[in-house]
Structure 1
Amino acid sequence: MGISAATLLSADNKLLDTLQTELGKRPASLRSATFTPGTPDTDGDEIDRLLSLVDARPSAGTFIAYNVLPERIWASSYTTQTYDGTSDDLLTAGLGKTGLGSATAPTYASAAAPTASELRRNAIYNNYRALVDANKAAGGYGTLYGPNIDISGNDTLGEGKIAGTEAIAYSSDASGKRKITLMVQVPNSFDKTKPCIVTATSSGSRGVYGAIGTAGEWGLKHGCAVAYSDKGSGNGMHDLAADTVNLIDGTVATASAAGTTAHFAADISKSELDAFNLTFPNRIAYKHAHSRQNPEKDWGKYTLDAVGFAFYVLNEKYGTADASGKKPRIIRPGNTLVIASSASNGAGAALIAAEQDKLGLIDGVAVSEPQIQPKDMSGVSIKQGTGTVATLGKPLLDYFTYANLYQPCAALASDATGSPGAAFIAGYATNRCTALKAKGLLNGTTTQAQADEALQKLHTYGWTSASDVFHASHHALATPSIVVTYLNTYGRFSVTDNVCGFSFATTVGTAGATLGNVTATSPLVQAGIFASGNGVPPTGGINLVYNDASGGAKRDVLAVSPSTGLADGALDGALCARSLVTGSDPVTGSKLTGTLLAQSERVQKGIAEVQVKGALDGKPAIIVSGRSDTLIPVNHASRAYYGASQKADDSKSRLRYYEVTNAQHFDSFIDNAALPGYDTRLVPLHVYFNQAMDLMYAHLKNGAALPASQVVRTTPRSGTAGAASAISASNVPAIASTPANGDAITYSSGTVSVPD
């Protein structure tokens, strides 16, 4: 017997009613929709995502939306743990405010075989301190922010431990090669009648706890579930010589024993591994660099997956099974406030997720210092004061490979006098100037003239003068390794490719003839890397190695370039990296050919895959960034994205941009004993991350207006380098509800105007 059109229409409407209750908006009819379903190895489209998040089943003449484990979650990896908030907790792993503020990391009963709980504790300790200045109370920890500071900014929470439940699982394709760690923390203060979720996608290449001190802390304190993701790039290490890897809880196994349960293992055969180990012994593969997945292209999806996982975890915890034995969903996008958040790479992931969010899972965005790459800057310009920015909106690997050439020399410029960390590059900075001059990339006839010229090149290429004194520390601690990591990830290269002659390995650290040579990695490093690692070198004694150095493989900062005969910090490798981005030799200008051309095409394809439109479609969003950001310059990221988004959304735009003077990317460098001078020059951007979250929360919950885009003018602490006076609220004034005329950031006729 046929089914009448009226019956079909009635059933369709009842299904749409259920989905409207679920989402808070009515989707188009699924009867006429054309959608792409997922397979074990490929993702479907947004309709497929909806159908995989909600198990809508007919019941008593209508439909009920039941809870269902999201697709790609490996049920075998799913675990939950409850923390009492005393002996252990969600935010501090039982360490409390005092333990997180200690300069001494927690110890292991056996460093050779830490337990999973010990690794978790140390991962929380290290990741919290990596993003927040917890070095000294004088810097704001424990007074302006920290576990003890309540949501009103007062010191009332004691040690700040937070009881609750933590759920963790892998999300992966069938092969296990594209693997993401997802985690949800649910504080006991979560109110199922007023549900909220905050995303905390990891920053940098960090593991799943990588945003614990930023979005994690804010969300937990506000009684929200926190949805974490390592975004497929998080802190996975494969010691190729020992053939050991880490599991989801950080414990160690051989790659063969771990199989597909390994957090990361290099995708090479046994014969390839043996051959590589013979020619390049004691090398390390890292997940972000060597997974061959270019995970950045899916960072938004992985953030949305974390939100979907959070809804599952919440409904499992608070739902009640009906007669069918299944749990109807009571916490769903339609009744839950969701803020996409995080810092740095995690902030970029939040913005990308908001752009891709067609189901309406995300209500608003609040992020700091996003690593975000606009696709189209045509018709957009940036002015600071009366000056027009010459270079803007370049892809990350473009401006990083440029910085990698000139930063060491620029650190010797007159305007960079007194740079924190200058001693770290003293061994190769002058030689870098000399080598750049010899290759015709600088014209100055003295080291000083060359250095001043190099700094001016960086200004012309998008760095503000506020970054001048920070180039030395950034090249010493970040720039070269990020270049090599992103060359590999964008080109989807194998660890065996040794792109531009670079690899990762432990190097000899003691003075003598073997200083900087490759050596075996201690098993203790693998045992603790889940907790101590950041996903890129330098970490745990593992450094960037230039295989092609004169005399043999050497740590890059000690390497002699074959073409110059100088210990110039592996300039030859830096020039190769630059060529793969531009497609031409940076010295001769000639187009690449052969292997280099093929590698360049792969890199450029990967770069194109991660660039975004800036189309938030009117979703409310806040970006805060520091004007002194030397790692992710505002002219290439925050300012550029703000302009691209204004262009894309036009009158629909509800994006706000707050630029903070005397603030930059690495709050953890402030009050760091190895970098005196950060403390007297900079204030913590984290203060403004918290304000941005507060503003977005009030906007979404109560309809409070978002302040207009503006420059926030701060006052650095006084005192001597390394001993700055204590920070106070007067150093970090609040984002103004109405900015003064001289502080307003505006967009008009394609121009982003930022006051000096």
Structure 2
Amino acid sequence: MTTDFQHPRSSIHRGADDLLTAGLGAEGLRSMAPPAFADPAAATPTEARRRAIWSNWRGIADLSPAGGYGTLYGSTVAVPGREFQALATVPGAQHPHRVMVQIPDAFDRAARCVVVTASSGSRGIYGAIAVAGAWGLPRGCAVAYTDKGAGTDYVDLDAATGFAVDGTVTARPAEAAFHIDAPGATGVAVKHAHSGDNPEADWGLHVRQAAEFALRALDEALPDAAPFDFANTRVIAVGLSNGGGAVLRAAELGGDWLDAVVAGEPSVHVEASGARTLYDYATEAALLMPCALLAVDDLPQPPVAGQMAPVWAARCATLREAGLVEGGDTPAQARSARDRMEAAGWTGPALRAGALSVGFDLWRSVAVTYASAYGRFGFDAHPCGYRVAALDASLAPRPATSTERAGWWSDGSGIPPGAGVGIVDARAAGPDPAWPGLRCLRALVAGDSEAARRVQTGVSATRAGPPRVGLPVVVVHGIDDGLIPMAFSSVPYVDAARAADRDVRFWQVENAQHFDGFLALPDYGARYVPLLPYIYAALDQVTAYLDGEGALPADARIRTRPRGGATLDASHLRVPPAD
């Protein structure tokens, strides 16, 4: 594959502005206040980058003092070096994706190594820095990133602005990483939802192009050691969540360009027993889980069940009126909703951890965004009438301010709501206002309308195949994952790969849920262990195997011990040793 990389730029990051933490260090990353912009309405490239790194570290890792990051596992050591960024386009796509390569000054020329990764969720280009950067950069590896066609390149339709490659606001379409020409339009266009490209179908190609960009960047940065190619440079892929799904899609691509893969809690769709697509179970959860949680004991806090109980009870009543649950009172309706979810494959631990996704309205966010992406609907053509915009106090759309706009690229997660951008629900009505829109979203799963067929076609294009023969693959998943339940994703993927005679290793981690970043909440930190230590350990063991110094990780059900009110230590994690 020959890729044309557009708008390339490079920058030097040393001293008080390193590659891994932008000079913030552990204490700066832990700060509750984001790094400020000198002009709140106009970030400089350095300011936008520093704040994006702060935001993405905090979204992925547990940096709380009792969580053990940087002392028990992981690293926030300053890593000086150079950074290269560009835009790349996969065949057939209308819009590019971002690619970035970080090359440490201590790059190991004797053991040439590239760690290639994809952002988790729909995050921007720094969305996997705590996953791949924290492991690869201190070891002297270059780290290559892709936002896999999603990211935080929001378009302000009112102001006709987007974001340049350097993360600053631009009104010049030719400079924007994502642009929509829509004179007179209002609101916000989000790349994942509104590019018209169904980026998930090309996740593997996004990862491959990021690896290619790494080789080009290394040629430029280290000309005396060039050429760098896949024959003389080791490439290991790693990712979490959607990033985990992306590296598994990369694993199925032909050629010997990739040496190993570690996929954490992957969002991956296969045809196998028990498998369910993200859109299927997300829309089911959006409808049923608020009610079902009233019948689940010992919910983690927050969200606080006592505060949410009236809202969840209203959902139970709505479900009963629609004939989707049984029972003459709220407790009976909640048990009916819970039983229905368990019959569909949800485990008790996944339901309990799913309370976080309900509390933050994440199921609706996923369903709205992915319906647009799968069906390739424009910003103003969502089949269920949803739009995206800045909102006023009454939740009505309004133009964004210049200060809000300046922070989108750094602060956003790639899907609304967040960073001052919300979901506009044209169907909202009645005592359970989200219900009409959610029913519409759910109907797209198996309906026969034109819109439903478009969504179903998009979903089918995301189906994963088995990894390349002989490629080492390790899958790591938390048994308590409530966002991407292991039973719907990793378990059927591993089963399907093994049925195709592929040697995939599988770590199942007890007491681990989906969001390490939320372990800073006391009750979550007390009852759940982080998943990142197991990703790093799997990378360590895979690297030792490639070096001829150990075996591939053996399958394991890892019996962890939550830390409660104590500080995390090795006895809580019980990471499997290398053979």
Q: Look up the match of 1:287.
A: 191
Residue of 385, 392, 395 corresponding to 2:277: 395
Q: Does 1:442 align with 2:370?
A: no
8 Å CA contact retained: 1:166, 1:186: yes
Q: Secondary structure in 1 aligned to 2:380?
A: helix
Q: Look up the SS of the partner of 2:5 in the other structure.
A: coil
Match of 1:691 in 2: 537
Distance 1:174 1:418, change over 3 A: closer
**Aligned position for 1:310:** 214
The aligned counterpart of 1:229 is 146
Alignment partners' CA distance in 1, 2:279 and 2:427: 22
Amino acid aligned to 1:140: G
Mark the CA change 1:450 to 1:417 in structure 2 (over 3 Å): closer, same or farther.
Answer: farther
What is the CA distance between 1:619 and its match in structure 2? Answer: 0.8
Match for residue 440 of structure 2 among 571, 576, 579: 576
Q: 2:354 aligns to what SS in structure 1?
A: helix
- For 2:345 and 2:398, locate their aligned partners in 1 and report how far apart those are by CA, in whole Å: 39
Which secondary structure state, in structure 2, belongs to the residue aligned with residue 263 of structure 1?
coil
2:412 to 530, 533, 548: 533
- The 1:475/1:345 distance shift into structure 2, 3 A limit, reads same
State how far apart, in whole Å, the 2-side matches of 1:222 and 1:727 are: 24
Which sections of structure 1, spanning at least 5 residues, go unmatched?
1-48, 53-70, 149-159, 278-282, 321-327, 381-391, 550-559, 584-591, 719-723, 739-756
1 CA distance for matches of 2:456 and 2:140? 43
Partner of 2:30: 101
5 Å-filtered alignment, 1:433-472, equals 433-472=316-355
Aligned partner letter, 1:115: T
Contact 1:198–1:226 (CA under 8 A) maintained in structure 2: yes
Map 1:256-655; keep pairs closer than 5 Å.
258-266=172-180, 268-270=181-183, 274=184, 276-277=185-186, 283-320=187-224, 329-356=226-253, 358-374=254-270, 376-377=271-272, 380=273, 392-415=274-297, 417=299, 419-422=301-304, 425-426=308-309, 428-477=311-360, 478-509=362-393, 514=394, 516-549=395-428, 560=429, 565-566=430-431, 568-583=432-447, 592=448, 597-648=449-500, 650=501, 653-655=502-504
Alpha-carbon shift at residue 104 of structure 1 (Å): 2.1
Q: TM-score, normalised by structure 2?
A: 0.96
The structure-2 alpha-carbon separation of the partners of 1:293 and 1:609, relative to structure 1 and needing over 3 Å to count, comes to same
Answering whether residue 34 of structure 2 is matched by residue 83 of structure 1, we say no
Tell me the equivalent position of 1:139: 67
Q: Deviations over 1:128-171 (max 9, x none)?
A: 1110011x2101223223435xxxxxxxxxxx110111111111
Change (3 A) 1:501 1:428: farther
The superposition leaves residues 531-554 of structure 1 with CA deviations (integer Å, 9 ceiling, x where unpaired) of 1011111211222221122xxxxx
**Contact residue 300 and residue 353 of structure 2 kept, 8 A:** no
User: 1-side partners of 2:218 and 2:49: how far apart?
Assistant: 22
| 1:107-186 equivalences in 2 (<5 Å) | 107-134=36-63, 136-148=64-76, 160-172=77-89, 177-186=94-103
Q: Structure 2 counterpart of 1:610, which letter?
A: T
Matched, 1:670 2:519: yes
Does the 8 Å CA contact 2:474/2:553 hold for their aligned counterparts? no
How many equivalent residue pairs? 577
Over the aligned positions, Cα root-mean-square deviation in angstroms equals: 1.9
- Shift of the 260–460 alpha-carbon distance from structure 1 to 2, 3 Å rule, reads farther
**Distance in 2 between the 1:667 and 1:520 partners?**
34
Distance 2:406 2:257 in 1: 38
The alignment partner of 2:294 has SS state of coil
CA contact (8 A) 2:300 2:355 kept: no
TM value normalised by structure 1? 0.74
Q: 2:577 & 2:469 partners in 1: Cα distance? A: 25
CA contact (8 A) 2:74 2:536 kept: no
Could you say which residue in structure 1 is the equivalent of 2:507?
Answer: 658
TM-superposed deviation, 1:175: 11
Identity %: 38
- Tell me by how many angstroms 1:414 deviates: 4.0
Q: Aligned pair in 2 of structure 1 residues 434, 419: CA closer, same or farther (>3 Å)? A: farther
Compared CA separation, residues 447 and 137, structure 1 to 2 (3 A): same
For residues 18-76 of structure 1, the C-alpha deviation after alignment (integer angstroms, 9 at most, x for no partner) is: xxxxxxxxxxxxxxxxxxxxxxxxxxxxxxx1xx3xxxxxxxxxxxxxxxxxx2211xx
- Per the TM alignment, residue 238 of structure 1 is displaced from its structure 2 partner at its CA by 1.2
For 1:82 and 1:262, locate their aligned partners in 2 and report how far apart those are by CA, in whole Å: 22
Displacement of 1:403: 0.8
Q: Deviations over 1:326-346 (max 9, x none)?
A: xx9432211221101111111
Structure 1 residue 698: Cα displacement: 0.8
Q: Which runs of 5+ in 2 are unaligned?
A: none
Partner of 2:4: 72
Task: Sort the Cα spacing of 1:299 and 1:176 in 2 relative to 1 into closer, same or farther, 3 A.
Answer: closer
What is the CA distance between 1:639 and its match in structure 2? 0.8
Cα distance in 2 between the residues matched to 1:417 and 1:669: 15
Contact (CA 8 Å) 1:97, 1:146: kept in 2 or not?
no
- 2:572 alignment partner, one of 723, 726, 731: 731
**What SS does the aligned partner of 1:635 have?**
helix
Deviation at 1:710, TM superposition (A): 1.4
Aligned to 1:249: 166
Would the aligned equivalents of 1:178 and 1:293 in 2 still touch at CA under 8 Å?
yes
CA distance in 1, matches of 2:196, 2:56: 25
Q: Is residue 631–residue 665 contact of structure 1 (8 Å, CA) maintained in 2?
A: yes
The answer to whether residue 115 in structure 2 is matched with residue 198 in structure 1 is yes
Report the Cα distance in structure 2 between the residues aligned to 1:463 and 1:618, rounded to whole angstroms. Answer: 33
SS of the residue 2:231 aligns to:
helix
1:711-750 CA distance string (max 9 Å, x none): 10111122xxxxx321111110012557xxxxxxxxxxxx
Alpha-carbon distance between aligned partners in 1 of 2:478 and 2:296, rounded to the nearest angstrom: 23
- 1:336-373 Cα offsets, whole Å, 9 max, x none, are 211011111111111111101x2211000012111111
Alignment partners' CA distance in 1, 2:378 and 2:511 = 40
Task: Name the stretch that deviates more: 633-642 or 611-620.
Answer: 611-620
Shift of 1:425: 4.1
